[in-house]
Amino acid sequence: MNESSSRPRSIDRAVTELARLPGIGPKTAQRLTYHLLRSSGDQVLVLAEALRNLKEGVVTCSVCFNMSDRNPCHICESPDRDHAVICVVENLLDLVAIERTARFRGVYHVLHGAISPMDGIGPDELRIRELVQRAKDTSATEVILATNPNLEGDATATYIARLFEGSDIAVTRLARGLPVGGDLEYADEVTLGNALAGRSSA
């Protein structure tokens, strides 16, 4: 990089570190860096402080692998939740999305990914073993597989479902169908087919 040799090393370092973040390319990293340079010292320090505390203040829940400020997390500790129903999600953001529905009163299990062999992620790299053990230990009645509706999510769900075959635990999957506000004519045939198969009485 020729252009970088002329600017202070601290700027280069900030650009490089920001560019490591997902969805941020070198150009955006540069824009952010120069924005921070122009903004007030307080603002930059507040950001630095927030980043510094991020890792210290957050722990992984040893029961469900959610991120929380305590272990076990709020959800796993809560007496108001049904601990016999475990909803399995790929990522933390999926948990947040399901929480936002306010329709689920059970507990979660975060796999931290989906099976994706070309990225080196097989069943062993996910929290699947822990899920099976946990469901058994806590005598769960239902495991809801809320993985993404794509090939990797499906394969992950199928793999997990197999592991529960022959047990008393009911294994269910999220229904799939048409999104709110969508157009029927643009739906792909798999989604439309699923919506048709899973229709409910009006």
Partner 1 sequence: MKSARRYSTEALVIRQLDYAEADRILTIYTPGRGKFSVIAKGVRRARSRRSGHLDLFTRVRLDLAAARNLDVVTQADAIERFLFLGEDVTALTYAHYCAEILDAFVPESNHPSSELYAATLETLRRLGRRERDIAVRAFEMLLLDRSGYRPQLHSCLGCGKEIVPEKNYFSPALGGVICGDCMYQDPASVEISVPALKILRNLQTRPQEVLRLNRVEAALQGEMERRLHDYVVYHLERRPKSSRVLESLRTAPAIPA
| Residue 120 binds partner 1, judged by CB under 8 A | yes
| Residue 172 binds partner 1, judged by CB under 8 A | no
Q: How far is the CB of 200 from partner 1 (least distance, A)?
A: 19
| Residue 110 binds partner 1, judged by CB under 8 A | no
Q: How far is the CB of 46 from partner 1 (least distance, A)?
A: 24
Answer for which of 183, 184, 199, 201 binds partner 1 (CB under 8 A) is: 183
Answer for which of 21, 46, 58, 151 binds partner 1 (CB under 8 A) is: 151
Nearer to partner 1, 44 or 163 (CB): 163
Stretch that binds partner 1, among 6-14, 41-49, 73-81, 187-195 (CB under 8 A): 187-195
| Residue 119 binds partner 1, judged by CB under 8 A | yes
Answer for which of 101, 186, 199, 202 binds partner 1 (CB under 8 A) is: 186
The most distant pair of C-alpha atoms in the chain lies apart, rounded to whole Å, by 69
Q: How far is the CB of 162 from partner 1 (least distance, A)?
A: 8
Residue in 102, 100, 105 with CA at minimum distance from that of residue 81: 105
The footprint of partner 1 on residues 14-53 (CB under 8 A) is: 22-23
Nearer to partner 1, 41 or 181 (CB): 181
The footprint of partner 1 on residues 50-79 (CB under 8 A) is: none
The whole-angstrom separation of Cα 161 and Cα 88 is 11
Q: What does the H/E/C string look like for the chain?
A: CCHHHHCCHHHHHHHHHHHCCCCCCHHHHHHHHHHHHHCCHHHHHHHHHHHHHHHHHCEECCCCCCEECCCCCHHHHCCCCEEEEEEEECCHHHHHHHHHHCCCCEEEEECCCCCEHHHCECHHHCCHHHHHHHHHHCCCCEEEECCCCCHHHHHHHHHHHHHCCCCCCEEEECCCCCCCCCCHHHCCHHHHHHHHHCCCCC
The whole-angstrom separation of Cα 20 and Cα 113 is 19
| Residue 96 binds partner 1, judged by CB under 8 A | no
| Interface positions with partner 1 (CB under 8 A) | 22-23, 115-124, 128-129, 132, 135-136, 150-155, 158-159, 163-167, 169, 179-183, 186-191
